[in-house]
Chain A
Amino acid sequence: MAMDIPRRSTARTGTRRSFLHENPSVLWFMGLLGLFTVVVTVLSEGVGLGVMPTNLIKILGMTLCLCLIAIAMDVVWGYCGILSLGHFAFFGLGGYAIGMWLMYARTEINIRDNLERGTIPPTEAEVSEAVAAQIFGVVGSSELPLIWTFAGSLPFQLAMVVLVPGLLALVFGWLAFRSRVTGVYLSILTQAMTLALSLYLFQNDTGLRGNNGLSGLQNIPGALDVPQSIISIWFFWASAFMLGVGYLFFAWIVSGKFGSVIRAIRDNEARVRFLGYNVEGYKLFVFTITAIVSGIAGALYYPQAGIINPAEIAPIASIYLAVWVAIGGRGRLYGAVIGAGFVSLLSSWLTGGGAPNIDLGVFRIVWTEWWLVLLGLGFVLVTLFFPKGIGGLFDYLVRKQP
C-alpha cells in the first residue's frame, strides 16, 4: 500500500503539506498526460508534423474518454466496493444528449441553406418540420418527438449531458441502496438497468431513431467547414483536459476522510453504520457523481466516434469496463487509466486488422476472432495471479512503508 491511496493532509500531525505534495502519483499523472497531449499535437495531421493520421488522433481521443469513465468506475467499484455493471448506460446517455444537439443543429443549418435558395424565406414551422422529416424519415416518422423540443439549444443539451445520467443514477441508486441490495445482486440489477435501457432505445418509437441511433456526429455545427483533421485535435484536447480535471477531482474525493469512509464501506459496511455514518447516502453520492462523470465522458466520446446507437450501451460494454479496471488495478486511479488505455488500444489494434495473424499450420489464429479469448484469458490470469493488476507493478518501484 505505498502510493495507491491518495491522501490529504487531514488527520496528519505536524506541518500541513499540500494535496499534490502528498500524492506524487497525481503529479506524475498530470505530467505524463500533458506530455502525451503535446507529443500527439506535434505529430498530428491537423496542426503538427502530419505523422499521425486523423483517424489515429480520434482513436487516441476516444481512448482518453474511456480512461475517464474507467476512473469513475474505479471510484465506484475499487474504492466504494459497488460493482456497477451499468456505468456504460450513463456514458451512452451523455452521448445521446450531445448527439441530439449535433444532429439537430447540423440538419437545421443544411435545411435553412436549402430553403433559402427558394424565393420566399421559410417560416420557423417549416424549418422545424423539414428538420423532423429529415431526422426521423429513417424510422418512418416526420414529427419531432417531445424530447427533441430543445434539441436545438446547446446549453440545454449540455445540461442534459449531466442531468439525465445524474438523475437516472440518483433514482436507481436510491431505490437499490435503500433496500440494502449489495454485492452480486446489485451488479445484476445494474446489468438489468443497462439492458432495459438498451432494449428500450432499440425501439423505433422511442424518439431516438431506434437501432439507427444518431449519426454524423463528427460534423460540428458552426464549424462545418473546418476539416476533420482540426476537429479531431480539438476533441483530443478537450478529452485530455477533462481526463485531467476528472482525475484531479476523483483523487481529491478519494483522499482524506471521505475516501477513508468509502473504503471502509467497501471493507465492512455494517461496521461503518455503527460508527454513525449513513452508508446508503455515501453510496448514492458516489454512484451519482461517477454516473455524471461517465455521462461527460460519453458526450466527448461520441462526437469523435461519429455515431451512437443502442448497441453501445449493451450490457457487455459495462462488463468490459469492469475488466479494464480489474486488469489495470482496482483502488488506484492510474491503474484504471492504464487498464482502459492498454486494453482498448490493444483491442483496436487486434480487431482493426493491424496485428498479423498467426499461422500454426493446423490452425490459424485470426485476431479479430481470437481477441475476446485473449481478453478473457488475460482477465482470468490477472484475477488469479495479479489481483492488484498492472498498476500493482508500481508498488515494486516505490517500495516504502506507509
Chain B
Amino acid sequence: MTTLLEVSGVSVTFDGFRAINNLSIAIGEPELRAVIGPNGAGKTTFMDIITGKTRPDEGRVIWGERSVDLLKYSESQIAKMGIGRKFQKPTVFEDQSVRDNLAMALKNKRGPWSVLMWHATAQDQARIQELAEEVGLLARLDDRAGILSHGQKQWLEIGMLLAQDPRLLLVDEPAAGMTPSEREHTTDLLKRAAKTRAVMVIEHDMEFIRRLDCRVTCLHEGSVLAEGSIDHVTRNQQVIDVYLGR
C-alpha cells in the first residue's frame, strides 16, 4: 500500500471560524477509510478542500506518485486526475435518465468537441449495463432519475462515481435514508471498490462503519482526534466525550 493522498497542516477559516485546524491525514491505495466526528468537525469541508471547492489558508495537499500539488488545480481538473466525490444529499441530474446520468460520468474525454462527437461504443454500453447492474438499477436505466427513490438516487450517484473510475472515492454519508438491506448492499459495494482503490467514507452510523471493518479517523474541531481500528477509536475517552457519548 502506497500513499495516494497526503493532506498536511491544512487550515481554513470562514469568517473567523476555524473550520479546519492544522489537519493532517494520509490515505493509501488501496485502502478503505472511515471518517467520523460530530457535526461541525470539518468532515465535509475536508472533502471540499481535496476536491478543489474550498481553498485552504495554509497547508499542502499532495496527490499521487508524482506528488502533484492539488491546490493549484480546479475542481474539474482534480476530478479528471481521479478523485470522485459523492455528496451528502444525493445530487443526480433529475431531469435526465439513469442511462444519461451514467453516460455523463463514464471515463471518457471531457472536452466540448469530443463530447459533441461522442457515440457510445459497445464497450461504453456494456459498462453502463454493468454499472447499473452493480447498483441495482438495471431495470430503471431509461427512467428519469427524478422519479427514483431516495435510496436509489444514492446508488445512482455511487454508480456515477464508479463510472468515473477514480483512484480515490470520497463518499459523504452514503447510507443516509437507506433501508437496512440497502445499507448492507452499500457496504459490500464500498468494500469491493476499496480492493483496488482508495475509498474514504464519511458516516455517522457506527453500525455501518463497524461493518466496513476498516481504519477509522475521528475528526473534532477541524483536526484529527484519534485514528486506528474501530475498537481503538471507540475506546478512546476523548472520542467518547465529544462524539459517541452524546
Contact = CB atoms under 8 A, between A and B. Distances in A.
B99 interface: yes
Interface string A271-282: 101111111011
Of B87, B91, B118, the most chain A CB neighbours within 10 A belong to B118
Contact of B104 (A273, A275, A285): A275
A253 B76 contact: no
B79 A258 contact: no
Interface stretch (A10-18, A350-358, A382-390): A10-18
Interface in A1-50: 1, 8, 10-13
Given A11-B128, A267-B93, A278 B104 contact: no
Contacts of B144: 1, 402
How many residues of B sit at the interface, in one of the four size bands? 35 or more
Contacts of B111: 278, 281
Contact of A402 (B110, B119, B143): B143
Given A1-B95, A11-B103, A260-B104, A279 B76 contact: yes
A8 B142 CA distance: 14
Interface string B13-30: 000000000000000000
B79 A276 contact: yes
Of A256, A260, A285, the most chain B CB neighbours within 10 A belong to A260
Given A1-B144, A253-B116, A260-B100, A274 B110 contact: no
B164 interface: yes
A273 B79 contact: yes
Interface in B70-129: 74-77, 79-80, 84-85, 87, 91, 93-97, 99-100, 102-105, 110-112, 115-116, 118-120, 124-125, 128-129
A282 B116 CA distance: 11
Contacts of A278: 74, 76, 110-111
A256 B117 CA distance: 9
A261 B118 CA distance: 12
A242 B23 CA distance: 59
A261 B100 CA distance: 9
B87 to A, nearest CB: 7
Contacts of B112: 258, 281-282, 285
B118 A273 contact: no
Interface string B137-158: 0000011100000000000000
A278 B105 CA distance: 13
A1 B116 CA distance: 22
Given A11-B103, A281-B112, A275 B95 contact: no
Contacts of B75: 270, 273-274
Of A11, A12, A258, the most chain B CB neighbours within 10 A belong to A11
A263 interface: yes
B142 A277 contact: no
B51 interface: yes
A389 to B, nearest CB: 16
A360 B66 CA distance: 81
B160 interface: yes
A400 to B, nearest CB: 12
B118 to A, nearest CB: 5
Contact of A256 (B85, B87, B91, B118): B118
A273 B95 contact: no
A282 B112 CA distance: 6
Interface of A: 1, 8, 10-13, 253, 256-258, 260-261, 263-264, 267-268, 270-271, 273-279, 281-282, 285, 402
Per CB-CB distance, the 4 closest pairs between chain A and chain B, nearest first, are A276-B79, A273-B75, A11-B103, A276-B80
Interface of B: 51, 53, 74-77, 79-80, 84-85, 87, 91, 93-97, 99-100, 102-105, 110-112, 115-116, 118-120, 124-125, 128-129, 142-144, 160, 164
Given A257-B116, A274-B79, A275-B105, 10 more contacts: A11-B100, A11-B103, A258-B112, A258-B115, A260-B103, A264-B93, A273-B79, A276-B80, A277-B104, A278-B74
